[in-house]
Chain A
Amino acid sequence: MATYNKHILVCGGSCCTSGNSAQIADNFKSTLAEKNLSNDVQVIQTGCFGLCDQGPVVKIMPDNTIYTHVKPNDVRRIVEEHIEGGKKVEDLLYVNPITGERVEDNKEPNKFHKKQIRIALRNCGVIDPENIKDYIAHDGYMALAKCLTEYTPEQVIEVVSASGLSGRGGAGFPTGKKWASSARAKADQKYVVCNADEGDPGAFMDRSILEGDPNSVLEAMAICGYAIGADKGLIYIRAEYPLAIERLKIAISQAEEMGLLGDNIMNSGFNFHIELRYGAGAFVCGEATALIHSMEGKRGEPTFKPPRTSEKGYNLKPTNVNNVETYANVPIIITKGAEWFSSIGTANSKGTKVFALAGKVNNVGLIEVPMGTTLREIIYEIGGGIKDNKKFKAVQTGGPSGGCLTERHLDIPIDYKSLTQAGSMMGSGGMVIMDESSCMVSIAKFYLDFTVPESCGKCTPCRIGNKRLYEMLDKITKGNGTMEDLEHLRNLSVVIKDTALCGLGQSSPNPILSTLDNFWDEYVEHVQDKKCRAGACKDLVQYEINPAVCVGCTACSRNCPVEAIKGELKKPHQIDNSICIKCGTCITKCKFNAIRIK
């Protein structure tokens, strides 16, 4: 039986695979066999290393060695020099991009440059979220203890301000400024509210934080309470997050039991209690004023600002509202200092941002990157590139309030400002990658389809305007649009942006405006040529079987739900487009790629 003392990990991510990493793995196996080392050294292919620009990548364990740009004919050298000779192959070693040095020993993970830094997610996947002791073992509640014993409330706000932390819910309002404004307000009662009403389709950053590290949010809320002079905290969370709710409840009761929440915390005289408030899942309730009305038991409708919630919020008392991810950053800013935090990021956006990376990328996942990372790095290195080697088309950020960016935006260092300038927005962190099979008119329609029923109905531009926008998009995707419609679409979008009451309405036309700007040709094609280049608009496409390729296996006709495909066994089949509903079943069932979309 084999007793391995070394492992050779060969990256099997799609970039490295296209760089022939399978051949590299095979070469390792055959070279090791030739040298009778197969029982000592194991070769295995792994997932993506996230070093796609330097692939193919090979890692030797336990020697902490990473080799980059490895070619199949480098294998013999690695085996002979490193595995047999014990001397690392200098010219293939990973180069630290900051120091420019070749890294011989990656023992210190921080020496190894990674695109992602986990700050808000620092404990997610690391600690047991249902055991406060594990959180304390990872410096939990040290920041609160430090604030209560060493800082005045003003000093806490100074640290938060100096760190440059800004609202991670999307708008990017400076957190320190918000806290200062709530601190200035005079009242007999103030509140700290955590906005956990994560409503963007495809976004799950806040849920992951609450499920993985609920105590960091509780600790931050207590710190905020101390800073602004509030003794009560409320978490507004949607009822459809049952696990997050359960873990928050456990965390609250454990923190109370240990005297880290409650009265006279750590003998400081400071009291802080946290309760949960449940939302029914309305998108508009993520807007601060609507959220507060919902917590008060009223309809979840926004009201005009000012007054801001920091002056008149919950029960008309000064209320500081921040989002989950914003709070999750606070404890570590206190313990590691404002300077440390502000050293990460760009000139105008500090720290990191968590994104839910989804869509047509190989490695969909929850990622956290420093502000200033480019979309290209996110998509091609962290995301491992576009699925099935298709062509990148667009990236949607900011959910229903954001926009679609294109190829030419890939190298913009992303932060609040740059994304807004490019016609999208940071948003809460949804990031959907689209390839050539995505129709941009349909994407805009998808987001409007989301916004229309989520409109609370209070103001006319949003209630009626968005409905009209949706109808126009629907008309265009069905091939009935006119050039005048495109003009109306833009005009009405601008009017809604200018006149809607709250953030939801003001941003709801963004998916349309950004696609009109960036994908105008596609709109025109839909209108003038009655053509959808992505083949996504069912009314504009026809399915066709290529008789030269079809072998007549009958897989398509047997699976067609509407019996639109006819043909004899072993003879090319035909599709009757008057019956076909363009469901795509035949395309997935055909093993010969004989079915085309025209």
Chain B
Amino acid sequence: MRKVQSLADLQSLRDEFRAEFCPADVKKVQVKIAMATCGIAAGAKQVMNHMVEKSKELGLDIDFTQAGCMGYCYAEPTLEVSVPGRESVVFGYVDETRADEILTKYIQNNELVEGIIPVNYETTD
């Protein structure tokens, strides 16, 4: 990675990374998994590995990201699914079975599955 030279340089890097990490027009399905210590302890890592494998099997092209705490301790492991053209949905209590349902039912067929957590906070951007 090259060194940032100035404020303007940082701004252009930001725009470049924005296109990569949070584009205005999302084309690919994104799955973010809450992976703080507590999420991992509740099984988030296994769920993510499982989903990566399973999505390959199903021929789904998905971006998986490990993120930090989403705050829903009561429902770990939790993950957020963003499908282009749909409002993103947070699912809680995700085990391998539910992960499969999320892939085959929700992502492939737009059928919601149990465990939806309505986001009850706003985030400052």
Contact = CB atoms under 8 A, between A and B. Distances in A.
B17 A137 contact: yes
Interface of B: 1-7, 9-11, 13-14, 17-18, 20-22, 32, 34, 36-38, 40, 65-75, 80, 86-87, 92, 109-125
Nearest to A363: B74
Contacts of B1: 254, 257-258
Contacts of B122: 109-110, 112, 114, 116-118
Contacts of A362: 74
Contact of A118 (B11, B13, B111, B123): B123
Contacts of B65: 128, 134
A203 to B, nearest CB: 13
Nearest to A362: B74
A308 B87 CA distance: 51
16 contacts: A9-B112, A44-B116, A61-B86, A122-B123, A124-B69, A125-B32, A130-B66, A133-B17, A141-B4, A142-B11, A145-B7, A208-B68, A211-B68, A243-B40, A258-B3, A365-B72
Contact of B67 (A110, A128, A367): A128
B68 A213 contact: yes
A125 B71 contact: yes
Q: Which 10 pairs across A and B sit closest by C-beta, in order of nearness?
A: A212-B68, A259-B3, A50-B120, A116-B121, A125-B70, A137-B17, A46-B116, A124-B68, A208-B69, A137-B21
Given A109-B119, A127-B68, A212-B36, 16 more contacts: A4-B112, A5-B110, A45-B114, A47-B116, A114-B121, A122-B125, A124-B71, A125-B80, A142-B10, A212-B68, A241-B37, A243-B40, A258-B3, A259-B5, A266-B4, A363-B72
B67 A125 contact: yes
Contacts of B75: 47
Contact of B124 (A3, A117, A149, A208): A117
B68 A4 contact: no
A136 interface: yes
Contact of A141 (B10, B22, B109, B111): B10
B68 A364 contact: no
Interface string A247-265: 0000000100111100000
Interface in A208-251: 208-209, 211-213, 241, 243-244
A interface residue count range (under 10 / 10 to 19 / 20 to 34 / 35 or more): 35 or more
A365 B18 contact: no
Given A50-B120, A122-B125, A266 B7 contact: yes
A138 interface: yes
Contacts of B113: 44
Contacts of A45: 114
A514 to B, nearest CB: 26
Contacts of B111: 2, 4, 42
A368 B68 CA distance: 15
Interface in A44-66: 44-51, 59, 61-62, 64
A46 B90 CA distance: 10
Which one of A61, A123, A126, A332 has the greatest number of beta carbons of chain B within 10 Å?
A126
A567 B26 CA distance: 67
Contacts of B38: 204
A533 interface: no
A218 to B, nearest CB: 14
Contacts of B125: 122, 138
Nearest to B17: A137
A128 B69 contact: no
A367 B69 CA distance: 10
Contacts of B121: 114-118, 367-368
A362 B9 CA distance: 47
A243 B36 contact: yes
Contacts of A382: 120
B72 A133 contact: no
A267 B124 contact: no
Contacts of B119: 109
A333 B98 CA distance: 40
A367 to B, nearest CB: 6
B86 A62 contact: yes
A145 B3 CA distance: 13
A1 interface: yes
